[in-house]
Structure 1
Amino acid sequence: MTDDTQAHEHPSGEGETIGATSDAQDPALEKDPADWVSGDDPMTEAQRSYLDTLAKQAGEELPADLTKAEASQHIDRLRGAE
């Protein structure tokens, strides 16, 4: 490729792909939410909705002003409690 975009050759050589690759399954590539560049941004609407559902199922109340990183950590925690 001649630019900075990341594209991957299809394993069978059928051309480029974008999105998930086998590397995406490597846990070593996952960043801790505390290390996210945008971790201090407000949680997304998708996070808010999912976290609301998980918290209700767990009988918990959480602050509505969580950051993306905090929301992700709560989601992981609550999913582990399922």
Structure 2
Amino acid sequence: MTDHFHNPKLDEHPASNAEKDPADWVSGNEPITGAQASYLATLCEEVGVELPTGDLTKADASRQIDEMKAKLGRE
């Protein structure tokens, strides 16, 4: 007997649940990661704005990264 199961990793167009609103992240309140800080700094420099100051969370950083990417036309 051969039972086949559906492997979502093989879908041509994966489900949209791969992207969550940062407000729904379990780790969203944790401090910004080094990678996020570096990318945000690069984007801010490209846009020509000051890097945000203060303590950013992962969720805050993600939202700001998305905002900077939108300003640069990188969706």
What is the TM-score normalised by the length of structure 2? Answer: 0.71
Name the % identity: 47
Q: Which has the higher strand share?
A: 1
Tell me, yes or no, if structure 1 residue 56 matches structure 2 residue 45: yes
Aligned residue pair count? 65
Select 1:42's aligned residue among 31, 34, 43: 31
Q: What residue in structure 1 maps to residue 59 of structure 2?
A: 69
State how 1:13-28 maps to structure 2 within 5 Å: 21=9, 22=11, 25-27=14-16
Structure 2 CA distance for partners of 1:38 and 1:81, relative to 1, 3 Å:
same
Secondary structure of 2:61's counterpart equals: helix
What is the TM-score normalised by the length of structure 1? Answer: 0.66
Q: What are the superposed Cα offsets for residues 26-76 of structure 1, whole Å, 9 maximum, x if unpaired?
A: 33x121001101100001000000000001111112125210000000111
What is the root-mean-square deviation in Å for CA atoms of aligned residues?
Answer: 2.5
Greater RCO structure (CA 8 Å; 6+ sep):
2
Unaligned runs of 5+ residues in structure 1 are 1-8, 12-19
